[in-house]
Structure 1
Amino acid sequence: MSPKAVVVTGSNRGIGLALAVQFSKRGDIVIATLRSKANAAGTLLASLPNVTLVELDVDDIATVDSAVAEIEEIAPDGIDELWNNLAMYNIAQKMVRARTFSPTDMQRIFHVNVTAPTYLASKLLPVLEKRKTMKIVFVSSCNASFDYSKSSADYLTKAEAPFIYGASKSALNMSAWYFHNQLNSCGFTIVPIHPGLVLTDMNPVGTISSEESAKKMLDTVDALSAKDEFFL
């Protein structure tokens, strides 16, 4: 298999870091975004072969444009896949609940979890179209599912899952659907994917490691093409 060129957002820790490690091990060219390259000095991410770091601070939407320009310079022949992994769970460790809701909290979480990844995907469409793979992955969550949320109320209470996070991931899923609806005929494969109950800083009661989640997601996405119908 020829090396791919992939973009992974939120790559400094957790699932994003595990994805970058897996792609690097395979010999793929990895463009890993993170808030600050300076803070990555001396970390595992900075030491990985075939990995180039690009700053992307989604609190400032203008950095999406500058990151896209840098990605175009790094990969002038295009990229194969975009993995939109970056997400926010809480506001500075403050749980957003029904009784403590504020519009500012909701706007920030929706901006990070929906607006920024959707905008980045839109801006990178011409870069993806330079290659044949054309895959966009939106890392979602089981918290976006009514059925899961109803059947797992005890777990979600234990995990202290903020309701705005689930709402934002529902919105992200719908963004993925519309991307699929508009771009599938052009050869794009759009994949909203649940990474599993991953043990991370965001989810201290997860049941699988970031490494296991990344491997399973890669296997799943590798097997999919634009001909598959997985929006059921």
Structure 2
Amino acid sequence: MSPKVVVVTGSNRGIGLALAVQFSKQGDIVIATVRSKANAGTLASLPNVTLVELDADDIATVDSAVAEIEEIAPEGIDELWNLMEESRNVQHWSEDGLSPHILAPDMQRIFLVNVTTPTYLASKLLPQLEKRKTKKIVFVSSCNASFDYSKSSAGHLTKAEAPFIYGASKSALNMSAWYFHNQLNSSGFTIVPIHPGLVVTDMNPFGAISSEESAKKMLDTVDALSAKDEFFLRNYDGSVLAW
């Protein structure tokens, strides 16, 4: 079986790095996007990995990244894994410390990184995906985009910092995935929005699973899916999340 050609975004740390490592170990060809090659760390030393610079805060870098990906993989790519995200919610307080509020630039940045840039990148890479048979696009979403989860976690969410911004952005990302599914499923594309699990990160030391476990189980889940499967928001372990 010939190796897959895979694009992994946001791959210099966390789940993105863990996915790049998994694909590299499998012998797949990995095109890993990073904000800066100079700060790619251990990613730069992985076999079968080529680095491409892409700054999720600057959508203009998508076009240059796509041009570079086309040169690296002229015969096309099999899978796109979109892991770019801003998960830090920003909340400000009034001078008396009683009234929380948000600022428009904060919301604009979160939606740019979590929705606009990954959606635009997916649209620009469609010609490369169409060249090969696999045709899979993965959008790493969140349980925070789920109404059911939000209702069951209302007590926690009311204490968190402006949690609706992150959840709203991931809900918008799910709708982008739904759009791609409706447009492309008949052409053999598999579109997968997926929750990576509650992963231990620098910003979330209370997570339940490691980046490595999340990456491994998401890979297993996505490998098992095809264009014949119904569109759902998936959990990392393959189960379906109410949306």
Identical positions, percent = 85
Is the alpha carbon distance of 1:211 and 1:158 closer, same or farther for their aligned partners in structure 2, counting shifts above 3 Å? farther
- 2:218 aligned partner: 217
1:11 counterpart SS class: coil
Distance in 2 separating the partners of 1:161 and 1:201: 19
The correspondence of residues 32-181 of structure 1 with structure 2, limited to 5 A, is 32-40=32-40, 43-90=41-88, 94-95=90-91, 99-156=100-157, 160=161, 162-181=163-182
Question: Which runs of 5 or more structure 1 residues have no equivalent in the other structure?
Answer: none
- 1:25 aligned partner: 25
- 1:228 aligned partner: 229
Aligned residue identity for 1:39: N
- Contact 2:181-2:231 within 8 A present in 1 as well: no
- Contact 2:10-2:16 within 8 A present in 1 as well: yes
Q: TM-score, normalised by structure 2?
A: 0.89
Task: State the 1:159 CA deviation.
Answer: 6.3
1:183 counterpart SS class: helix
Aligned residue identity for 1:145: S
Task: State the 1:201 CA deviation.
Answer: 2.4
Distance in 2 separating the partners of 1:205 and 1:228: 33
Q: Which moved more, 1:96-105 or 1:141-150?
A: 96-105
Is the alpha carbon distance of 1:156 and 1:205 closer, same or farther for their aligned partners in structure 2, counting shifts above 3 Å? farther
Task: State the 1:160 CA deviation.
Answer: 4.8
- Contact 1:159-1:204 within 8 A present in 2 as well: no
Is the alpha carbon distance of 1:214 and 1:161 closer, same or farther for their aligned partners in structure 2, counting shifts above 3 Å? farther
- 2:238 aligned partner: none
Distance in 1 separating the partners of 2:77 and 2:91: 37
Distance in 1 separating the partners of 2:202 and 2:227: 34
- Partner deviation per Cα, 1:5-56 (whole Å, 9 max, x = no partner): 000000010110010010001000000001000112xx22111100000000
Aligned residue identity for 2:33: T
- Partner deviation per Cα, 1:200-227 (whole Å, 9 max, x = no partner): 1242221100000000000000000001
Is the alpha carbon distance of 1:51 and 1:27 closer, same or farther for their aligned partners in structure 2, counting shifts above 3 Å? same
Task: State the 1:2 CA deviation.
Answer: 2.1
Question: Which runs of 5 or more structure 2 residues have no equivalent in the other structure?
Answer: 94-98, 234-243
- Contact 2:91-2:100 within 8 A present in 1 as well: no
- Contact 1:96-1:105 within 8 A present in 2 as well: no
- The answer to whether the aligner puts 1:201 opposite 2:202 as a matched pair is yes
What's the Cα RMSD here? 1.8
- Contact 2:56-2:84 within 8 A present in 1 as well: no
Distance in 2 separating the partners of 1:39 and 1:158: 35
- Contact 2:191-2:231 within 8 A present in 1 as well: no
The higher radius of gyration belongs to: 2
- Contact 1:89-1:162 within 8 A present in 2 as well: no
- Partner deviation per Cα, 1:132-191 (whole Å, 9 max, x = no partner): 000000000000001011112345467657320111000000100010001101111000
Aligned residue identity for 2:109: R
Aligned residue identity for 1:212: E
Is the alpha carbon distance of 1:120 and 1:58 closer, same or farther for their aligned partners in structure 2, counting shifts above 3 Å? same
